[in-house]
Amino acid sequence: MSYLAKNYNRKNISFKYGKGSFLYSTNGKKYLDFVQGIAVNSLGHSHPKLVKAVNKQSKKLWHVSNAFQIPEGEILAKKLAKKTFADFVMFQNSGAEATEAAIKAARRYFYTIGQPKKNRILCVKNSFHGRTLAAIYASGSKKMTEGFGPKITGFDHFEFGDHKSLNKKITKNTAAIMVETIMGEGGIKVIPDWCLRELRKICNKKNILLILDEVQCGIGRSGDFFAFEKSKVKPDIVPIAKGIGGGFPIGAVLMNKKVASGMTAGTHGSTFGGNPLAMAVGNSVMDIISDKKFLNNIKSNSKYFLSNLNDIKDKYPKVIKEIRGRGFLIGIQLNTDQIKFIKRLMDNKLLTIRAAENVVRVLPPLNVKKSEIDQALKIIKKVCSEVN
Ligand X SMILES: Cc1ncc(COP(=O)(O)O)c(C=O)c1O
Residues that bind ligand X in the complex, under the rule CB under 6 A: 94-96, 99, 128-130, 180, 184-185, 213, 215-216, 241
233 vs 383, which CB is nearer to ligand X?
233
107 vs 129, which CB is nearer to ligand X?
129
Nearest residue to 200 (alpha-carbon basis) of 282, 256, 268: 256
135 vs 380, which CB is nearer to ligand X?
135
Helices 370-387 + 292-315 axis angle, to 10: 20
320 vs 325, which CB is nearer to ligand X?
325
Rounded to the nearest 10 degrees, how much is the dihedral formed by the CA atoms of 281, 237, 102, 222? Answer: -50
| Least Å from the CB of residue 218 to ligand X | 9
| Least Å from the CB of residue 85 to ligand X | 18
Q: Which residue is nearest to ligand X (CB)?
A: 95
CA distances from 289 to 35, 39, 70, 237, 285 (A): 18, 14, 23, 21, 6
Is the preceding omega at residue 150 within 30 degrees of 0, hence cis? yes
| Least Å from the CB of residue 97 to ligand X | 7
| Least Å from the CB of residue 242 to ligand X | 6
215 vs 260, which CB is nearer to ligand X?
215
179 vs 203, which CB is nearer to ligand X?
179
Which residues share a beta bridge with 91?
252
Residues in CB range of 59: below 8 A, 6 or more apart? none
183 vs 373, which CB is nearer to ligand X?
183
215 vs 379, which CB is nearer to ligand X?
215
| Least Å from the CB of residue 216 to ligand X | 4
What phi and psi, each to the nearest 5 degrees, are found at residue 175?
Answer: -95, -35
CA distance 163 to 6: 39
| Distance, first Cα to last Cα, the chain | 39
Instruction: Provide the CA 222 distance to its chain's centre, in angstroms.
Output: 10
| Least Å from the CB of residue 94 to ligand X | 4
| Least Å from the CB of residue 385 to ligand X | 32
| Least Å from the CB of residue 152 to ligand X | 16
